Amino acid sequence: MTSLRTHFRSFAQAPRRFYSGAPSTAAKLNLPVDYKTTPILHHTSSSLSNTEYPAGATSKRLNLYQAINSALRTALSKSDRTIVFGEDVGFGGVFRCTMDLQTEFGSDRVFNTPLTEQGIAGFAIGAAVEGMKPIAEIQFADYVFPAFDQIVNEAAKFRYREGGTGINAGGLVIRMPCGAVGHGALYHSQSPESLFAHIPGLRVVMPRSPAQAKGLLLSSIFEHNDPVVFMEPKILYRAAVEYVPNEYYTIPLSKAEVIKPGNDLTIISYGQPLYLCSSAISAVEKAMPGVNVELIDLRTIYPWDRQTVIDSVKKTGRAIVVHESMVNYGVGAEVASTIQESAFLRLEAPVKRVAGWSTHTGLSYEQFILPDVARIYDAIKQTLEY
Partner 1 sequence: MSLKLLSRNGLRSQPVTTARIVPARRWSSSISQRPGSDSVRFPGAVNSKFTSEMAFLKASDLPAIPTYRVMDSDGYQIDKTRPAPNVTNEEVLTWYKNMLSVSVMDVVMFEAQRQGRLSFYMVSAGEEGITVGSAAALTPDDVVFAQYREAGVFQQRGFTLKNFMSQLFANANDTGRGRNMPVHYGQNYPRTHTISSPLATQIPQAAGAAYALKLQDLQNPNRDPRIVACYFGEGAASEGDFHAALNIAATRSCPVVFICRNNGYAISTPTLEQYRGDGIASRGVGYGIDTIRVDGNDVFAVNEAMKEARRLALSDGGRPVLIEAMSYRVSHHSTSDDSFAYRARVEVEDWKRRDNPIIRLRKWLENQGIWSEEQEKETRDEMRKAVLKEFGEAEQEKKPSLRDAFTDVYEEVTEEQREQMAELKRILETYPDEYDLRPYKDGINGLD
65 near partner 1, rule: CB under 8 A: no
118 near partner 1, rule: CB under 8 A: yes
Q: Site for partner 1 (CB under 8 A): which residue of 11, 158, 196, 275?
A: 11
Comparing CB distances to partner 1, the nearer of 141 and 259 is 141
Euclidean distance between CA atoms 318 and 314, whole angstroms = 8
Euclidean distance between CA atoms 353 and 371, whole angstroms = 10
Q: Site for partner 1 (CB under 8 A): which residue of 133, 159, 183, 299?
A: 183
Euclidean distance between CA atoms 199 and 334, whole angstroms = 13
Binding mask 280-319 for partner 1 (x = CB under 8 A): ----------------------------------------
Euclidean distance between CA atoms 371 and 363, whole angstroms = 15
**CA-wise closest residue to 75 among 187, 6, 175:** 175
188 near partner 1, rule: CB under 8 A: yes
Question: Least CB distance from residue 369 to partner 1, whole Å?
Answer: 6
Q: Site for partner 1 (CB under 8 A): which residue of 54, 78, 123, 145?
A: 145
Question: Least CB distance from residue 120 to partner 1, whole Å?
Answer: 10
Question: Least CB distance from residue 282 to partner 1, whole Å?
Answer: 15
Determine whether 188 is an active site residue.
yes
**CA-wise closest residue to 128 among 90, 153, 158, 164:** 158
15 near partner 1, rule: CB under 8 A: yes
Q: Which of 42, 183, 188, 224 is catalytic?
A: 188
Q: How many CB atoms lie within 10 A of CB 218?
A: 20
237 near partner 1, rule: CB under 8 A: no
Q: Cis omega before residue 245 (within 30°)? A: no
Query: Contact at 8 Å (CB) between 182 and 367?
Result: yes
Size of the site for partner 1 (CB under 8 A): 71
C-alpha neighbours within 13 Å on the C-beta side of residue 301: 31
Interacting positions 21-50 with partner 1 (CB under 8 A): 21-30
Question: Least CB distance from residue 143 to partner 1, whole Å?
Answer: 6
331 near partner 1, rule: CB under 8 A: no
Interacting positions 333-372 with partner 1 (CB under 8 A): 357-360, 362-365, 367-369, 372
Q: How many CB atoms lie within 10 A of CB 46?
A: 10
Q: Which of 7, 42, 87, 117 is catalytic?
A: 117
Query: Contact at 8 Å (CB) between 263 and 313?
Result: no
Question: Least CB distance from residue 2 to partner 1, whole Å?
Answer: 4
179 near partner 1, rule: CB under 8 A: no
103 near partner 1, rule: CB under 8 A: no
Question: Least CB distance from residue 233 to partner 1, whole Å?
Answer: 18
60 near partner 1, rule: CB under 8 A: no
Euclidean distance between CA atoms 161 and 51, whole angstroms = 39
Determine whether 117 is an active site residue.
yes
Q: Which residues pair with 112 in a beta bridge?
A: 86
Question: What DSSP line would sit under 153-178, residue for residue?
Answer: IIITTHHHHHGGG----TT-EEEEEE
Q: Which residues are catalytic?
A: 117, 188
